[in-house]
Copies of this chain bind each other. A is one copy, B any other.
């Protein structure tokens, strides 16, 4: 019998489950799902305040209508009579480079700018300006800014306000706001912080690991993908030809 391989995620023995050093019974009913998830992924149990902010970020990531490719992939699979986990898997596979992958990149940008301000004493506007100039030379686009539909994403203000209320807003959110100002000024039109950029700034503030940031978005978005795939099974005929641009909402609207 060779040496056993090691894991530090969780420990299970008869009548006992330990998650990252915490008895499962000490978590149940005591912390929120988002706090437990933070613990499970990072090994650190965050405060209730961080949990509230995580909840908001996770709700912000849940769903964005029926048109994103992850939804269309999941609905398309569902329409062939496939089980729900197959739809969910296909939806996840459609959360790739161009769809749900900007958070990590944006975190790197914000971390870089904040480090420049902190370590070199560069004023924030100059640090942002210098980053944007480099980007322009490389003909790159700033990850986490601009949206094909929203000029003012309804999720961003709410989440940043909550971050302030929770006393979590700091240098990274400031940097994101300064980026938004300069990018929009440079373009001559609003290129606002989008949900990816917003989550990136919050994650930097709360110390969420960047290499798991896109995965968290994917996990949360999977809740929307699942709702959409389930609706496909309930309301649509099998094997229909889906037009990803030709749907309309027939659910309730607020205050009506």
A contact patch SS? mixed
Task: Please judge, given known A-B contacts A80-B98, A215-B88, A227-B9, whether A247 and B36 are in contact too, CB under 8 Å.
Answer: no
Could you tell me if B29 and A32 are in contact, using CB atoms closer than 8 angstroms? Answer: no
Which residues of the other chain, B, contact A230 by a CB distance below 8 angstroms? Answer: 41, 211-212, 215
Could you tell me if A215 and B90 are in contact, using CB atoms closer than 8 angstroms? Answer: no
Task: Name A28's closest neighbour in chain B (CB-CB).
Answer: B158
Whole-angstrom distance from the CB of A29 to the nearest CB of chain B?
A: 4
Whole-angstrom distance from the CB of A25 to the nearest CB of chain B?
A: 5
Oligomer copy total? 4
Which residues of the other chain, B, contact A94 by a CB distance below 8 angstroms? Answer: 76-77, 80, 82, 90
In chain A, positions 24-67 with a C-beta closer than 8 Å to chain B are 24-29, 31-34, 36-37, 40-41, 43, 52, 54-56, 58-60, 62-67
A215 and B81 CA atoms in complex are apart in Å by: 16
A16 and B253 CA atoms in complex are apart in Å by: 11
Could you tell me if B37 and A62 are in contact, using CB atoms closer than 8 angstroms? Answer: yes
Which residues of the other chain, B, contact A79 by a CB distance below 8 angstroms? Answer: 69, 98
Q: Is A137 an interface residue (CB 8 A)?
A: no
Could you tell me if A21 and B251 are in contact, using CB atoms closer than 8 angstroms? Answer: yes
Q: Is A85 an interface residue (CB 8 A)?
A: yes
A64 and B27 CA atoms in complex are apart in Å by: 14
Interface residues of A (CB under 8 A from B): 1-2, 4-29, 31-34, 36-37, 40-41, 43, 52, 54-56, 58-60, 62-67, 69-70, 72-73, 76-77, 79-90, 92-99, 101, 149-155, 157-159, 161-162, 165, 211-212, 214-215, 218-220, 222-224, 226-228, 230-231, 235-236, 238-254
**Between-chain CB contacts (< 8 Å), 12 pairs:** A4-B246, A5-B246, A18-B249, A21-B254, A23-B154, A29-B161, A36-B55, A73-B77, A85-B95, A86-B93, A89-B93, A97-B238
